A and B are shown apart, each in its own frame.
Chain A
Amino acid sequence: MSTAPAGYGRVLDLVTRVRGVRGAMLVAGDDGLVVAEQLMEGIKGPAVAALAASLANRLHRAMDAAGVGADQFWHLQAEQGALLVVPAPSGMLVVAVAEPDVNVGLVRLEPLVKFVKEAGARLVLLMTSAGQVLAQHGFSRAVDVMSAAALGAAIMASTDEIARQLQQPPFAGLNHQGERHGIFLAAVATGRGKLVALVVYDLDVSSLGLVQLFFEQLAADLRAASPKDSVPKQVLAADFERELSDSLNTLFGR
């Protein structure tokens, strides 16, 4: 089975765990390209993505004309298999390829609804309090990630200092609300120290409440995954040189 990037792995895991599902993928609804996939051998991911997106677009237009509103879930049943699709608010499609006798209720209820709730976030960046990136989702260029991490870490450091001067505990989270987008910045205390999450969300498909809900789940998962009794590894000069060199290469394409 082919693998998916770590950020999407859990979602696709939940789908593919259901008996009868032969594979699951995330597809960009606009252009029909694969974003992430977990497919059994023999399933052509690009073909599934392109066809599912095309059918989704046509079905969306027909449903709109019929006055039944936007599609929230659809299921193409064929003699030797089925295609299950959930359009997410972010414009992505969660697509599952399944055996003909798959339990459709199980596939859609458990993981897909959860994903749709979480997918309100457009960009997510997880970093250390010093701005070192640990994971990201949605950024298209490396330089964007570097800039966002540096700026996010700086904002967190500034507000922590303000809180310290006001003699109160650090702020739990920060929310900047613009006309179309919101930016949510918050820290998570883990066994390996403080991590910072930067979340950018669209106001027309998400909300601060939804992002906070998503963030609480993320924070709980991070705490659970963080080693508790291990001794932090000492940062060696060699590592520092290598990481610096990698960062410069990424930034300037050297």
Chain B
Amino acid sequence: MLGGALKDPKGRDVTDTVAAYLAGVSQEAGRTAKLLGLGSWTGLAAEGQHGHVHLTPPTGAALLLVVRERAVPMGRLAIIAQRAAVAARRWLEAQG
């Protein structure tokens, strides 16, 4: 975990648990895109029953997750994720 936090709808901190699962998702997304000849993956958006998630690799080694409630449209979430990825990239560069 490099930064940020995530709480589930009951208010419990699930940051580390979700981060652990996301490592597997990221690996599988990269493998899928590569083996299917789709190039590098640039994003993974998913609609859930209670919320939407958007996953982006701002750099080769990092992963950015944005989670919002269902009321936020997927397209808007993608724009938020893009902006967050730019900010994350700057932040990571500043960390050296």
CB contacts under 8 Å to B, within A29-70, are: 43-44, 47-48, 51-52, 54-55, 58-59, 61-63, 65-70
B93 contacts the other chain (CB 8 A):
no
- Interface secondary structure of B, over-half rule: mixed
Query: Which of B10, B29, B47 is A72 in contact with, Cβ under 8 Å?
Result: B47
Q: How far, in angstroms, from A58 to B39 measured CA to CA in the complex?
A: 21
CB contacts under 8 Å to A, within B11-46, are: 12, 14, 17-18, 21-22, 24-25, 28-29, 31-33, 35-46
Query: Which of B22, B25, B36, B48 is A69 in contact with, Cβ under 8 Å?
Result: B48
A70 touches B48 (CB 8 A): yes
A69 touches B51 (CB 8 A): yes
Q: How far, in angstroms, from A149 to B60 measured CA to CA in the complex?
A: 56
B35 touches A66 (CB 8 A): no
A-B contact pairs, 18 of them (CB 8 A): A51-B31, A65-B21, A66-B51, A67-B9, A68-B52, A68-B53, A69-B48, A70-B48, A71-B47, A72-B48, A73-B47, A75-B45, A76-B41, A77-B41, A77-B45, A78-B42, A82-B38, A97-B36
A81 touches B47 (CB 8 A): no
A66 touches B14 (CB 8 A): yes
Query: Which of A59, A66, A72, A75 is B6 in contact with, Cβ under 8 Å?
Result: A66
B40 touches A78 (CB 8 A): yes
A74 contacts the other chain (CB 8 A):
yes
B17 touches A65 (CB 8 A): yes
B88 contacts the other chain (CB 8 A):
no
B76 contacts the other chain (CB 8 A):
no
Closest 3 CB pairs of A and B: A69-B49, A67-B8, A79-B39
Query: Which of B24, B36, B39, B67 is A66 in contact with, Cβ under 8 Å?
Result: B67
